[in-house]
């Protein structure tokens, strides 16, 4: 009986294990069935929802963090701040705003977005193989690289040339180049006219003129017979005309070939004594120690208008010498310019720089049309004229605080350059500033002036006498954002530029 009981217990154990084994087998088959069903469902979904495209195009290119090395010192900057353009017509990708000088473009991390799931591959430098581009990969962009973009349907591809531009120059370096000399003169004036640079000066007792097309030479210009020894200082240019004065006659030309006498009326004055400057569409002169203005644009205003006719005007604050003018567009205002006039004057035995500013609306629907009506009324004898609201010269008065005032320099020059005003000149009247020693910069339209070390004068060496020219200089900014300085005493001509300003041209 004991053996039979033991056999039953053993048989029960075997059956129990068999039941458990069968249960495990059933569970395994169930899991396999579920997996196969899922695969079938995914396959069915793939067949109905996944779509392949024939397009192959790059839609965006972005740089990651960039490394920069200057004088052995490493720094980083955000490369995504530099926008890359994609020309889909010729399949090129490039940045118009070049990366800073010293940027490491041999190890660049970049992100590429494509159209309709197309895939970008980087072609090796020797063109023998390709690698799928991953945004964490480093790419050598020291030369332009080719990216081949394959369509998701694998029916075609498109090649793009990617170029990463880097500045080769320090943006804040001022670079000078010595140009061909001009004949030595005792005084001169430099002008931009018809996209060329003209120099007028006193050479051997009479006014001579020369022109250059930004090359290395100067060509003589034929002038009317009425010129005299002082005509060079009575020469000004607007956007479309050049004016010169010999004796008391003023002549105007548009091509330096045909000259016509200007016989404009003069209000409240007998004659013009000196032409002292010009803006794009106005010329300025002195008559009986009064500042005069004549409009020279398309709106016919053949009348010289005294400054005290336009507004209250205290001529006691006018400069007496070293007159210099520049004009530049007024931000956010169409057909409107700032005009800056500078010069020097001695007050109580001390020489000071004097600055005046004028805002001019050139539009025919603006204040010019009102000014024309006003002049016509005044010339007809009307006693109801009240022009003070139209336009005015504003004196920048620094008499109460001479700190940061315009420097009193011989041959004072004021130029508009890089969205700022620059002033420089020959030796100071107090003899405490050497000739051509520094630049002064104004960022508030001529109110304050501070020396700026970013702007440097031409170098001193054994072959140049330029920095010792204490007699007379003249300067102008050309269309390529270069500053030209001409020395009367030595005939030397230098062309310079601040790199970042010239790059904007």
Whether the predicted pLDDT of 46 surpasses 50: no
Task: Please write the tens of the pLDDT for every residue from 433-448.
Answer: 877 888 999 999 999 9
φ, ψ of residue 209 to 5 degrees: the values are -135, 145
Distance CA 110, CA 434 (A): 52
Of 18-22, 119-123, 137-141, 224-228, where does mean pLDDT reach its minimum? 18-22
468 pLDDT band, cuts 50/70/90, is low
**Rounded mean pLDDT, 82-86:** 97
Whether the predicted pLDDT of 210 surpasses 90: yes
Of 156-165, 236-245, 326-335, 443-452, where does mean pLDDT reach its minimum? 326-335
Q: Is 35 exposed, middle or buried (0-12, 13-18, 19+ CB in 10 A)?
A: exposed
What token pair was written down for 493?
Answer: 């001509």
Whether the predicted pLDDT of 207 surpasses 80: yes
Q: Say which residue the tokens 């140049």 belong to.
A: 464
Q: What is the pLDDT of residue 384?
A: 57
Q: Is 77 exposed, middle or buried (0-12, 13-18, 19+ CB in 10 A)?
A: middle
Percent of the chain beyond pLDDT 70? 80
Whether the predicted pLDDT of 42 surpasses 50: no
CA end-to-end span of the chain: 115
Percent of the chain beyond pLDDT 90? 50
Of 334 and 75, which is predicted with more confidence? 75
Q: What is the pLDDT of residue 82?
A: 96
Distance CA 295, CA 240 (A): 12
330 pLDDT band, cuts 50/70/90, is confident
Of 104-113, 235-244, 313-322, 390-399, where does mean pLDDT reach its minimum? 390-399
Q: Which of 37-46, 86-95, 478-487 has maximum average pLDDT?
A: 86-95
**Rounded mean pLDDT, 50-70:** 92
Distance CA 327, CA 342 (A): 12
3 state SS for 297-340:
CCCCCCEEEEHHHHCCCCHHHCCCEEEEEEEEECCCCCCEEEEE
Task: Please write the tens of the pLDDT for every residue from 378-406.
Answer: 666 665 555 544 567 889 988 777 789 99
Of 435 and 44, which is predicted with more confidence? 435
44 pLDDT band, cuts 50/70/90, is very low
3-class DSSP state for residue 213?
coil
| Displacement of CA 436 from its chain's centroid (Å) | 25
Whether the predicted pLDDT of 197 surpasses 50: yes
Of 296 and 315, which is predicted with more confidence? 315
Task: Please write the tens of the pLDDT for every residue from 341-374.
Answer: 999 999 888 999 999 998 887 765 565 666 666 6
**Rounded mean pLDDT, 294-299:** 68
- Please choose, from the candidates 121, 123, 118, the residue with its C-alpha nearest in 3D space to the C-alpha of residue 156: 118
Whether the predicted pLDDT of 85 surpasses 60: yes
Of 51 and 39, which is predicted with more confidence? 51
**Rounded mean pLDDT, 446-468:** 79
Q: What is the pLDDT of residue 286?
A: 94
φ, ψ of residue 152 to 5 degrees: the values are -70, -25
Q: What is the pLDDT of residue 273?
A: 93
Q: What is the pLDDT of residue 30?
A: 36
- pTM of the model as a whole: 0.73
4 pLDDT band, cuts 50/70/90, is very low
Q: What is the pLDDT of residue 17?
A: 41
Report the length, in residues, of the chain: 505
Q: What is the pLDDT of residue 319?
A: 94
- Mean pLDDT, all residues of the chain: 83
Whether the predicted pLDDT of 125 surpasses 90: yes
Q: What is the pLDDT of residue 244?
A: 95
- Please choose, from the candidates 450, 370, 351, the residue with its C-alpha nearest in 3D space to the C-alpha of residue 404: 450
Q: What is the pLDDT of residue 367?
A: 59
Whether the predicted pLDDT of 35 surpasses 70: no
What DSSP character marks residue 81? G
CA atoms within 13 A on the CB side of 402: 7
Q: Which of 22-36, 136-150, 252-266, 390-404 has maximum average pLDDT?
A: 136-150
Q: What is the pLDDT of residue 403?
A: 86
Whether the predicted pLDDT of 124 surpasses 50: yes
Q: What is the pLDDT of residue 309?
A: 74
Whether the predicted pLDDT of 64 surpasses 70: yes
Distance CA 130, CA 145 (A): 12
- Please choose, from the candidates 107, 104, 103, 105, the residue with its C-alpha nearest in 3D space to the C-alpha of residue 138: 107
Burial 464-495 (b: 16+ CB within 10 A, else e): bebbebbbbbbbbbbeebbbbbbbbbbbbbbb
Of 78 and 303, which is predicted with more confidence? 78
What DSSP character marks residue 75? E
């Amino acid at each position: 009986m004991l053996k039979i009981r033991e056999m039953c217990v053993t048989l029960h154990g075997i059956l129990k294990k068999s039941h458990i084994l069968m249960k495990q087998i059933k569970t395994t088959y169930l899991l396999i069935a579920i997996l196969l069903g899922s695969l079938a469902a995914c396959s069915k979904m793939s067949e109905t929802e996944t779509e392949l495209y024939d397009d192959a195009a790059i839609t965006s290119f972005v740089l990651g963090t960039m490394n920069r090395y200057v004088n052995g010192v490493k720094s980083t900057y955000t490369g995504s701040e530099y926008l890359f353009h994609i020309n889909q017509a010729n399949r090129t990708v490039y940045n118009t705003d070049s990366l800073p000088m010293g940027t490491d473009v041999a190890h660049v991390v970049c992100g590429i977005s494509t159209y309709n799931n197309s895939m970008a591959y980087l072609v090796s430098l020797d063109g023998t193989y390709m690698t799928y581009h991953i945004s964490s990969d480093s790419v050598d962009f020291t030369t332009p690289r080719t990216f081949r973009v394959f369509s998701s349907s694998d029916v075609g591809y498109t090649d793009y040339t990617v170029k990463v531009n880097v500045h080769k120059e320090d943006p804040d370096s001022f670079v000078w180049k010595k140009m061909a000399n001009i004949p030595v003169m005792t005084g001169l004036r430099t002008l931009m006219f018809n996209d060329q640079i003209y120099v007028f000066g006193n050479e051997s007792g009479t006014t001579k003129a020369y022109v250059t097309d930004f090359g290395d030479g100067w060509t003589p210009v034929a002038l009317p017979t009425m010129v005299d020894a002082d005509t060079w200082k009575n020469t000004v240019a607007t956007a479309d005309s050049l004016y010169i004065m010999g004796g008391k006659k003023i002549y105007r030309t548009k091509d330096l070939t045909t000259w016509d006498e200007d016989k404009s009326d003069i209000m409240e004055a007998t004659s013009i004594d000196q032409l002292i400057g010009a803006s794009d569409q106005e010329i300025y002169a002195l008559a009986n120690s009064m500042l005069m203005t004549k409009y020279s644009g398309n709106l016919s205003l053949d009348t010289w208008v005294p400054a005290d006719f336009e507004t209250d005007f205290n001529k006691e604050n006018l400069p007496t010498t070293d007159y210099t003018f520049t004009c530049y567009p007024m931000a956010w205002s169409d057909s409107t310019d700032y005009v800056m006039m500078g010069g020097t004057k001695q007050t109580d035995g001390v020489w000071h720089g004097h600055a005046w500013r004028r805002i001019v609306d050139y539009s025919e629907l603006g204040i010019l049309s009102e000014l024309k009506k006003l002049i016509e009324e005044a010339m007809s004898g009307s006693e109801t004229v009240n022009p003070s609201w139209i336009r005015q010269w504003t004196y920048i008065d620094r008499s109460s605080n001479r700190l940061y005032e315009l420097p009193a320099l011989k041959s004072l020059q004021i130029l508009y350059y890089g969205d700022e005003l620059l002033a420089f000149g020959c030796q100071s009247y107090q003899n405490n500033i050497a000739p051509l020693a520094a630049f002064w910069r104004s960022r508030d339209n001529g109110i304050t002036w501070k020396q700026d070390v970013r702007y440097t004068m031409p170098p001193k060496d054994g072959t140049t006498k330029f920095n010792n020219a204490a007699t007379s200089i003249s300067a102008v900014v050309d269309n390529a954002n270069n500053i030209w300085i001409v020395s009367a005493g030595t005939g030397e001509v230098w062309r310079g530029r601040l790199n970042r300003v010239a790059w904007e041209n």
